[in-house]
Amino acid sequence: MLDITAKVIENRLLSEKGRIYSLTLDSPELSKDCLPGQFYEIKVGGLDSRFLLRRPFSVAFCDDKTVTIRYNVVGAGTEWMSGITPGQMLDVLGPLGRGWPVDKTKKTLLVGGSTGIFSVLGAASHLGDKSRAVLGFRSCDLVNSVEDFKAFGVPVSIITEDGSSGRKGLVTELVKEELDKNEYDTVFICGSTLMMKSVAELLKDYDVDCYVSIEERMACGVGACMGCVVKIKADNEQGWEYKRACAEGPVFNAAEVIW
Ligand SMILES: Cc1cc2nc3c(=O)[nH]c(=O)nc-3n(C[C@H](O)[C@H](O)[C@H](O)COP(=O)(O)OP(=O)(O)OC[C@H]3O[C@@H](n4cnc5c(N)ncnc54)[C@H](O)[C@@H]3O)c2cc1C
């Protein structure tokens, strides 16, 4: 894990109404050893910032020299990030956490909801046509990155809650249709807790391995503060223990999560 000052080479608006951006850093140091499903902690507000906590973002994809993250503007930190210009320096910590158990011999269904699509995009960049993505959004304003999945060779289906893009409904419907084809060995899910819980519940009826990325609100991001703990089944008296999403996760085996 590195704490690096990296140069921004792009901060591109992907969806004006949805306020979604793609930010690329020029940093071979940060991209080296970066695995899909891991994340970076970005110091917002500038190098002399008074924002106390860094903000975590999943790696969307990386190459030998660059790292790209994608973000939705939701509060003060991401609002500040939306004003970043190329050439600006950012203080970035990472890569952090444990990512997806990517295995190119296994046919994998990638399930993303809202900003959870960025973490599964990381897996798509490694799996290519060994995977398929089903992505759910609230409305067409938030639909983004579909072309990137396709560019990695991954077929994509979209569903929106209001039917303004793709089919109308919830992503669980698409997951069920895909699983009924009996083609998949593994499922990776990242989205709201409610969505991940519903999909994980549905998967109990199928013989597939399922992993979830739990993007809990986190403070330190490096396992020190215990602010992002999740309940995980354990072989002890109470049957569970707390694990840190930032250190032991954010990716966990769905069968072990107590929702
Ligand atoms: C491991 C991890 C990976 C993440 N990856 C991405 C990513 O790739 N792209 C992306 O857009 N976002 C991602 N997030 C969420 C992102 O970190 C937050 O949206 C960001 O920190 C908000 O900062 P802010 O200062 O703009 O908002 P704040 O002012 O801190 O919060 C604004 C609102 O957003 C809510 N919020 C903040 N963080 C979270 C969270 N983790 N889960 C649910 N609600 C939250 C707050 O409750 C509040 O209502 C990730 C979070 C984690 C833990």
CA of 105 to the centre of ligand 1 (A): 33
The answer to whether residue 34 scores a pLDDT higher than 80 is: yes
**Beta carbons of 100 and 133 less than 8 angstroms apart:** no
Partnered with residue 106 across adjacent β-strands are none
User: Is residue 39 in contact with ligand 1, taking CB distance under 6 Å?
Assistant: yes
**Opening angle at CA 115, ends 64 and 232, nearest 5:** 95
Closest residue CA from atom 31 of ligand 1? 75
Residue 3 pLDDT: 84
Q: Is 217 in the pocket of ligand 1 (CB under 6 A)?
A: yes
How many Å from the N-terminal Cα to the C-terminal Cα in the chain?
29
pLDDT confidence band for 192 (50 / 70 / 90): very high
The Cα–Cα gap between 225 and 220 comes to 6
pLDDT of residue 217: 87
Q: Please say if the pLDDT value at position 216 is more than 90.
A: no
Q: Which atom of ligand 1 is nearest to the CA of 78?
A: 26
Q: Is 251 in the pocket of ligand 1 (CB under 6 A)?
A: no
- Dist. CA 193–CA 138, nearest whole Å: 15
- Report which protein residue has its CA nearest ligand 1's atom 53: 215
- pLDDT at res. 87: 98
Structure tokens at 192: 């709201």
Nearest CA to ligand 1 atom 27: 75
Mean pLDDT, to the nearest integer, of 121-134? 97
pLDDT digits (tens, 9 = 90+) for 220-247: 888 999 999 999 999 999 999 999 999 9
What domains are there in the chain, each with its CATH number? Answer: 2-96 (2.40.30.10), 108-256 (3.40.50.80)
To the question of pTM greater than 0.85 for the whole model, the response is yes
Q: Which of 152, 193, 191 is nearest to 68 (CA)?
A: 152
Asked if 18 contacts 138 with a C-beta cutoff of 8 angstroms, the reply is no
Q: Provide the pLDDT for residue 209.
A: 96
Helix axes 193-203 and 171-179, enclosed angle (nearest 10): 20
pLDDT of amino acid 28: 95
Residue from 62, 215, 248 whose mutation best tests the ligand 1 pocket (most atoms within 8 A of CB): 215
Ligand 1 centroid distance, CA of 9 (Å): 23
Q: Is any atom of ligand 1 closer than 6 Å to the C-beta of 194?
A: no
Q: What is the mean pLDDT of the chain?
A: 95
d(CA 143, CA 63): 24
Q: Which of 22, 78, 243 to mutate to test the pocket of ligand 1 (most atoms within 8 A of CB)?
A: 78
Determine the Cα–Cα distance for residues 157 and 176; give it in Å rounded to an integer.
13
